[in-house]
Chains A and B, each alone.
Chain A
Amino acid sequence: MEPLLKISDLHVGFLNYAGVARVLNGIDLELFPGEFLGLVGESGSGKSLTANAVLGLLPARSAVISKGSIMFEGKELIGRSEKEFQGLRGKKISMVFQEPMNALNPSYKIGKQMVEILKLHKGLSNKEAKAEAVRWLTQVHIQNPEKVVKEYPYELSGGMRQRVLLAMALSCGSQLLLADEPTTALDVTIQAQILRLMKETADQLGTSVLLITHDLAVVAQTCQRVAVMYCGNIVEIGPVTKVLHEPCHPYTKALLKALPNPDHSETELQSIPGSVPNLLTPPAGCRFHPRCDLVEKTCMELRPQLTTVSENHYVACWREEDHV
């Protein structure tokens, strides 16, 4: 099957007063039609940046894409003009953000914001677009959609706002949905509602979803495959069952051990020693080596590439064969 989105060897750096921070260091990622792919990692690992790069949302002044390609439906996205991106955003590729209050315009009514994109991308008339907006709000299980279109974002609860954003993201028939921490700002009960809704609607429409989150449990519940990022690299990628239950990379293992388990409480959580390195002067070789227990000489000198462990399961670690 042809991947819908194929990112290969993507390098992104940020220029600042002290030099170049190499925030994405050769990302390889494929997303297939209708698939849910989780992208997990700690803050600063480059998850959101990857999504922003796909949508052409990197700050033009400071961000430099030094290498790599992003293919969407077989066409290159890097180097496209702002105008071309505008035709893509919201129409073919949409994004849902973490904080729905910041993603909605506080001074426009919900209906107006929805109608705006429907008119722009689908060329509907005002009346048609209004009807379509109401239909989409029903689709995301909003009660009283006729009333909600006349309300302002502040009048809705967090869960409702996230539903509206999801409706807006899907209403123009996007094939790819980039969901950046869509449930992090929500309570667990509402999170469960939104995750189910996302899965249900995306399955129904055949939309592919790149779900960015720091919550491994959310990924376990929604995605088929997961990619683990550390410091601008993908260190492990594979089916959810494999990566979360038979993790191969020391970082993935450490991350899973640091997670408090709701089913039973151990006495001590294992934390990862040290902290995320400064990206202006990233460690040579494997970027995780200063915090890794299994470090050896090769790790400090050469960068490991993703290699196959089992079917569809890849890991970037020199010591991989030692602990399978």
Chain B
Amino acid sequence: MFKPLLSLQRVGKEFPARGSGKGLSYKAVNEVSLDIYPGETVGLVGESGCGKSTLGYLVLNLLDLTSGEILFEGQSLANLNKAQQRALKSQIQIVFQDPQSSLNPRFKIEQIVEEPLRLNGWRDKQKRKERVRQLLDKVGLGEEYLGRFPHELSGGQRQRVAIARAISLNPKLIVLDEPTSALDVSVQAQILNLLKELQRDLNLAFLFISHNLAVVRHLSNKVAVMYYGRIIELADTNELFNNPLHPYTKVLLQSIPNINPEKPLLVELEGEMPTPHKSPLGCSFHSRCSYANDLCREAGSELQLIKEGHWVSCTRQKV
């Protein structure tokens, strides 16, 4: 049996509320448990504000946990000293949504990709340069890009640079936070193919955060659906898309516009996510759910295993 590479155990993150809700706090991430195995892609989907990016930052140890624990290769991320933290950071990397703002505009491409190497003990300049060339080649950029600045590149090329930088230290896990949302479809296809190829070659695990379900389906082995800070459904990709159990997952899948005009948008969700200040009792989805009963309004449900590899948190699903 494989051991998980990354294991989230009842992870929670609270932020203090500002303004009218002063003194209160709201839970951006609430009791999330999730395992990622080496070489697999876990898709994390949900609407804006559901906590998916916050979860990504927690994995990267960029934010402190309020509760729960994150284990990377069996070791807790909390209470690490500086040296351990740095060693860990080379194992977990991130690619952000907008390469325009994640690349330093004053650095040349060579410097951008070289920086993590320089900071992590690659003393030999010649070797560093060699490695940068190799990395750029891996993401499909030629040597002529070494001396260019980010503004001289197209969006897709910039995202390739960001990916080259992320894989420079041979990480085991990459958090991909909406890596193709800012790109056109034809370029998106290039980047998705590149990511798949790198995953095969380098045995990378991905935590793939996106609101685009079609893209998630294309890349992921497993998909977790988040709503209001919680994972409400988790299953293998095909199982989730073919047999969604949570009412929210169902409407989410039905809301994707289909390229076939004969398949119109059928159901749609009324209303919006509850505000973080007034978190509803019971199941957080009950205010928009057409099946809500008294149990949903008062108690809600924990995430439970319904069948092999399919977890769902809904009172209507009986084990």
CB of A124, distance to nearest CB on chain B (Å): 31
CB under 8 Å from chain A, chain B span 215-255: 215, 217-218, 237-238, 241, 251-253, 255
Q: Which of A21-29, A62-70, A108-116, A210-218 contacts B (4 or more CB under 8 A)?
A: A210-218
In the complex, per-residue mask of B170-188: 1 if CB is within 8 Å of any chain A CB, else 0: 0000000000000011111
Q: Which of B154, B187, B215, B257 contacts A220 (CB 8 A)?
A: B257
Within 8 Å CB of A43, what residues of B?
Answer: 155, 184
Chain A's closest residue to B264 (CB) is A221
**Contact (Cβ within 8 A) A262 B214:** yes
Q: Which of A189, A262, A270, A271 contacts B217 (CB 8 A)?
A: A262
**Contact (Cβ within 8 A) B218 A269:** yes
In the complex, per-residue mask of A228-258: 1 if CB is within 8 Å of any chain B CB, else 0: 0000000000001100110000000011101
Within 8 Å CB of B190, what residues of A?
Answer: 271
Q: Which of B30-38, B86-94, B265-273 contacts A (4 or more CB under 8 A)?
A: B265-273
CB under 8 Å from chain B, chain A span 141-188: 157-160, 187-188
Within 8 Å CB of B253, what residues of A?
Answer: 262
Within 8 Å CB of A258, what residues of B?
Answer: 185-186, 188-189
Within 8 Å CB of B187, what residues of A?
Answer: 42, 271, 275
CB of B19, distance to nearest CB on chain A (Å): 11
**Contact (Cβ within 8 A) A217 B258:** yes
**Contact (Cβ within 8 A) B265 A195:** yes
Q: Which of A158, A193, A244, A262 contacts B213 (CB 8 A)?
A: A262
**Contact (Cβ within 8 A) B257 A191:** yes
CB of B261, distance to nearest CB on chain A (Å): 5
Q: How many residues of B contact A (CB 8 A)?
A: 40
Measured in the bound complex, the distance between the Cα atoms of B256 and A188 in whole Å is 6
Chain B's closest residue to A221 (CB) is B257
Chain B's closest residue to A272 (CB) is B186
CB under 8 Å from chain B, chain A span 180-210: 187-193, 195-196
**Contact (Cβ within 8 A) B259 A220:** yes
**Contact (Cβ within 8 A) B193 A268:** yes
**Contact (Cβ within 8 A) B186 A192:** no
Within 8 Å CB of A157, what residues of B?
Answer: 272
**Contact (Cβ within 8 A) A220 B214:** no
Most buried by B among A262, A272, A275: A262
**Contact (Cβ within 8 A) B184 A259:** no
**Contact (Cβ within 8 A) B265 A196:** yes
Given A192-B255, A255-B186, A261-B214, decide whether A240 and B261 contact each other with a Cβ distance below 8 A. yes
Chain A's closest residue to B237 (CB) is A265
Within 8 Å CB of A275, what residues of B?
Answer: 154, 156, 187
**Contact (Cβ within 8 A) B268 A193:** yes
Within 8 Å CB of B302, what residues of A?
Answer: none
Q: Does any Cβ of A come within 8 Å of B211's Cβ?
A: yes
Given A42-B184, A270-B189, A271-B186, decide whether A262 and B258 contact each other with a Cβ distance below 8 A. yes
In the complex, per-residue mask of A7-42: 1 if CB is within 8 Å of any chain B CB, else 0: 000000000000000000000000000000000001
**Contact (Cβ within 8 A) B260 A265:** no
**Contact (Cβ within 8 A) A217 B48:** no
Q: Does any Cβ of A come within 8 Å of B192's Cβ?
A: yes
**Contact (Cβ within 8 A) A192 B217:** no
**Contact (Cβ within 8 A) A217 B259:** yes
Measured in the bound complex, the distance between the Cα atoms of B272 and A159 in whole Å is 8
Can you list 12 A-B contacts with CB-CB less than 8 angstroms, sorted by A residue number? A42-B187, A187-B48, A188-B256, A188-B257, A191-B255, A196-B268, A240-B261, A255-B186, A262-B241, A265-B217, A265-B238, A268-B196
Task: Given contacts A157-B272, A192-B269, A270-B189, list 5 more A-B pairs with CB under 8 A.
Answer: A220-B258, A244-B260, A259-B189, A263-B258, A269-B218
